Protein backbone atom coordinates (compact mmCIF):
# COMPACT_ATOMS: atom_id res chain seq x y z
CA UNK A 1 0.00 0.00 0.00
CA UNK A 2 1.48 3.32 -1.02
CA UNK A 3 0.72 6.67 0.52
CA UNK A 4 0.42 9.89 -1.36
CA UNK A 5 2.69 12.73 -0.36
CA UNK A 6 -0.24 14.57 1.18
CA UNK A 7 -0.74 11.79 3.75
CA UNK A 8 2.71 12.29 5.33
CA UNK A 9 2.62 14.21 8.58
CA UNK A 10 5.47 16.70 8.81
CA UNK A 11 6.98 18.13 11.95
CA UNK A 12 7.57 21.83 12.27
CA UNK A 13 11.17 22.90 12.93
CA UNK A 14 11.73 26.53 13.87
CA UNK A 15 14.47 28.47 12.13
CA UNK A 16 16.37 31.20 13.99
CA UNK A 17 15.25 33.91 11.57
CA UNK A 18 11.58 32.95 12.04
CA UNK A 19 11.62 33.29 15.83
CA UNK A 20 10.18 36.57 17.11
CA UNK A 21 10.81 36.78 20.86
CA UNK A 22 8.34 38.53 23.12
CA UNK A 23 9.07 40.41 26.34
CA UNK A 24 7.50 39.55 29.69
CA UNK A 25 7.78 41.20 33.09
CA UNK A 26 7.38 39.24 36.34
CA UNK A 27 7.22 40.50 39.92
CA UNK A 28 9.25 38.11 42.11
CA UNK A 29 8.10 39.54 45.44
CA UNK A 30 7.42 36.68 47.90
CA UNK A 31 7.83 34.00 45.21
CA UNK A 32 9.52 30.71 46.10
CA UNK A 33 12.92 30.55 44.36
CA UNK A 34 12.63 27.06 42.89
CA UNK A 35 9.10 27.41 41.57
CA UNK A 36 9.87 30.78 40.01
CA UNK A 37 13.11 29.45 38.48
CA UNK A 38 11.25 26.57 36.82
CA UNK A 39 8.79 29.00 35.24
CA UNK A 40 11.57 31.32 34.08
CA UNK A 41 13.63 28.47 32.61
CA UNK A 42 10.59 27.22 30.69
CA UNK A 43 10.01 30.65 29.16
CA UNK A 44 13.70 31.18 28.35
CA UNK A 45 13.89 27.81 26.57
CA UNK A 46 10.64 28.42 24.71
CA UNK A 47 8.92 25.25 25.92
CA UNK A 48 5.71 27.21 26.51
CA UNK A 49 5.34 27.67 22.75
CA UNK A 50 3.98 25.08 20.30
CA UNK A 51 6.90 25.91 17.98
CA UNK A 52 9.57 24.79 20.49
CA UNK A 53 12.69 23.44 18.83
CA UNK A 54 15.52 22.17 21.06
CA UNK A 55 18.44 23.36 18.91
CA UNK A 56 17.08 26.90 18.34
CA UNK A 57 16.88 29.69 20.93
CA UNK A 58 13.14 30.19 20.54
CA UNK A 59 12.49 31.48 24.06
CA UNK A 60 11.34 34.91 25.15
CA UNK A 61 12.90 37.75 27.13
CA UNK A 62 11.97 37.92 30.82
CA UNK A 63 12.33 40.95 33.11
CA UNK A 64 12.22 40.03 36.80
CA UNK A 65 11.48 42.84 39.25
CA UNK A 66 12.14 42.65 43.01
CA UNK A 67 14.57 39.76 42.53
CA UNK A 68 15.96 40.46 46.00
CA UNK A 69 12.62 39.67 47.66
CA UNK A 70 12.37 36.01 46.67
CA UNK A 71 11.99 33.49 49.45
CA UNK A 72 12.85 29.88 50.12
CA UNK A 73 10.32 27.29 51.11
CA UNK A 74 10.56 25.75 54.53
CA UNK A 75 9.84 26.46 58.16
CA UNK A 76 10.30 30.05 59.34
CA UNK A 77 12.90 30.68 62.01
CA UNK A 78 13.73 33.74 64.10
CA UNK A 79 16.72 35.62 62.75
CA UNK A 80 18.42 38.85 63.80
CA UNK A 81 18.43 40.72 60.50
CA UNK A 82 15.33 39.42 58.77
CA UNK A 83 12.21 38.07 60.52
CA UNK A 84 10.92 36.01 57.57
CA UNK A 85 13.99 33.82 57.05
CA UNK A 86 13.35 30.13 56.65
CA UNK A 87 15.51 27.27 57.80
CA UNK A 88 16.60 26.62 54.22
CA UNK A 89 17.82 30.20 53.93
CA UNK A 90 20.25 29.58 56.77
CA UNK A 91 21.33 26.04 55.83
CA UNK A 92 21.53 26.07 52.01
CA UNK A 93 25.08 26.78 50.93
CA UNK A 94 26.71 28.11 47.77
CA UNK A 95 30.31 27.08 47.04
CA UNK A 96 32.75 29.14 45.06
CA UNK A 97 36.43 28.82 44.38
CA UNK A 98 38.77 31.82 44.28
CA UNK A 99 41.38 30.12 42.10
CA UNK A 100 44.01 30.03 44.84
CA UNK A 101 45.01 27.00 46.94
CA UNK A 102 42.68 26.75 49.89
CA UNK A 103 40.40 29.33 48.30
CA UNK A 104 37.14 27.44 48.58
CA UNK A 105 34.45 29.69 50.06
CA UNK A 106 31.15 28.41 51.40
CA UNK A 107 28.36 30.90 52.06
CA UNK A 108 24.78 30.45 53.17
CA UNK A 109 21.88 31.71 51.07
CA UNK A 110 21.32 34.54 53.57
CA UNK A 111 24.92 35.74 53.16
CA UNK A 112 24.70 35.54 49.37
CA UNK A 113 21.39 37.43 49.38
CA UNK A 114 22.97 40.25 51.42
CA UNK A 115 26.03 40.47 49.16
CA UNK A 116 24.47 39.97 45.71
CA UNK A 117 20.64 39.86 45.77
CA UNK A 118 20.13 38.65 42.20
CA UNK A 119 22.70 35.82 42.34
CA UNK A 120 20.38 33.25 43.95
CA UNK A 121 17.70 33.51 41.28
CA UNK A 122 20.30 33.79 38.50
CA UNK A 123 22.01 30.57 39.59
CA UNK A 124 18.74 28.69 40.10
CA UNK A 125 17.63 29.49 36.54
CA UNK A 126 21.08 28.88 35.03
CA UNK A 127 21.29 25.42 36.55
CA UNK A 128 17.87 24.49 35.13
CA UNK A 129 18.74 25.37 31.55
CA UNK A 130 20.32 22.87 29.13
CA UNK A 131 24.08 22.52 29.43
CA UNK A 132 24.98 23.47 25.87
CA UNK A 133 25.93 26.49 23.77
CA UNK A 134 22.39 27.88 23.87
CA UNK A 135 22.47 28.38 27.65
CA UNK A 136 24.49 31.60 27.30
CA UNK A 137 21.99 32.95 24.76
CA UNK A 138 19.05 32.02 26.99
CA UNK A 139 20.65 33.58 30.07
CA UNK A 140 21.28 36.82 28.19
CA UNK A 141 17.50 37.08 27.79
CA UNK A 142 16.97 37.05 31.57
CA UNK A 143 17.00 40.55 33.09
CA UNK A 144 17.05 40.68 36.91
CA UNK A 145 16.44 43.92 38.84
CA UNK A 146 16.36 44.68 42.55
CA UNK A 147 13.64 47.34 42.56
CA UNK A 148 10.36 48.01 40.75
CA UNK A 149 12.01 49.91 37.88
CA UNK A 150 13.60 48.59 34.69
CA UNK A 151 15.04 50.26 31.55
CA UNK A 152 13.11 48.12 29.04
CA UNK A 153 9.93 50.17 28.63
CA UNK A 154 10.58 50.57 24.89
CA UNK A 155 10.10 46.81 24.37
CA UNK A 156 6.53 47.00 25.78
CA UNK A 157 6.83 43.98 28.09
CA UNK A 158 3.65 42.11 28.91
CA UNK A 159 2.93 41.37 32.58
CA UNK A 160 3.08 37.66 33.35
CA UNK A 161 1.58 36.17 36.48
CA UNK A 162 3.41 33.27 38.08
Q: pLDDT tens, 41-94?
A: 999 999 999 999 999 999 999 999 999 999 998 888 876 666 678 889 989 999
Q: pLDDT tens, 97-141?
A: 999 999 999 999 999 999 999 999 999 999 999 999 999 999 999
CA 25, chain centre distance (Å): 12
Whole-number pLDDT of residue 2: 58
21-150 is classed CATH 3.10.450.50: no
Q: Are 106 and 95 in contact (CB under 8 A)?
A: yes
Q: Taking Cα atoms as reference points, which of 29, 21, 35 lies closest to residue 142?
A: 21
Question: Which of 105 and 5 is assigned the larger pLDDT?
Answer: 105
Q: Any residues with CB less than 8 A from the CB of 157 and at least 6 apart, and which? A: 23, 24, 25, 61, 63
Q: What residue spans define the domains of the chain? A: 21-150
CA distance linking residue 59 with residue 126, whole number of Å: 14
Paired strand residues for 24: 62, 158
Amino acid sequence: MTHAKTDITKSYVAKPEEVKPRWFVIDARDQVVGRLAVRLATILMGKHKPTYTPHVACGDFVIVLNADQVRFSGQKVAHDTHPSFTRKMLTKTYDRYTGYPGGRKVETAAQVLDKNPTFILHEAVRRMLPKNKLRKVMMSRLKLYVGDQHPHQAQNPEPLSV
